[in-house]
Structure 1
């Protein structure tokens, strides 16, 4: 239990979005969160999982695509 728990505003700042985006993720249950009384906290590991799951790796161009037509 070494996870930091972040507020919606902190998550928004971390992701570079408005607070509306993390709130929507919570409402749609697309991210793990913890209710502490009436407060909502998001574990830092949940943010890392969310970003990792949606990271798109670049593709390497095929060599054939780089050749010029004669």
Structure 2
């Protein structure tokens, strides 16, 4: 498996946001996640895709 799964705190650290913010984004469907047991995990590729989708080009 080349696409590493990150915990919410690990993914939040990569995005430089608080884990609570990422939990809200997950609950609102702003970012895809994987549910394993009772844990929500985010693939590293989803973080890259999320950043790409939310990149704003200069005007």
Greater fraction strand: 2
Deviation of 1:15 (Å):
0.8
Would you identify which runs of 4 or more consecutive aligned residues in structure 1 move more than 4 Å?
Answer: none
**2:55 alignment partner in structure 1:** 55
Q: Compare relative contact order (CA 8 Å, sep 6+) and give the higher one, 1 or 2.
A: 2
| Alpha-carbon distance in 1 for matches of 2:31, 2:15 | 13
Unaligned runs of 5+ in 1: 60-70
**Pairwise CA distance, 1:25:** 1.1
Using the size of structure 2 for normalisation, the TM-score is 0.90
Residue 3 (structure 2) pairs with residue 3 (structure 1): yes
The answer for the alignment partner of 2:16 in structure 1 is: 16
Deviation at 1:42, TM superposition (A): 0.3
Give the Cα separation in 1 of the matches to 2:21 and 2:14: 12
Distance 1:31 1:19 in 2: 13
- Larger radius of gyration, structure 1 or 2? 1
> Once superposed, what is the RMSD of the aligned Cα atoms?
1.0
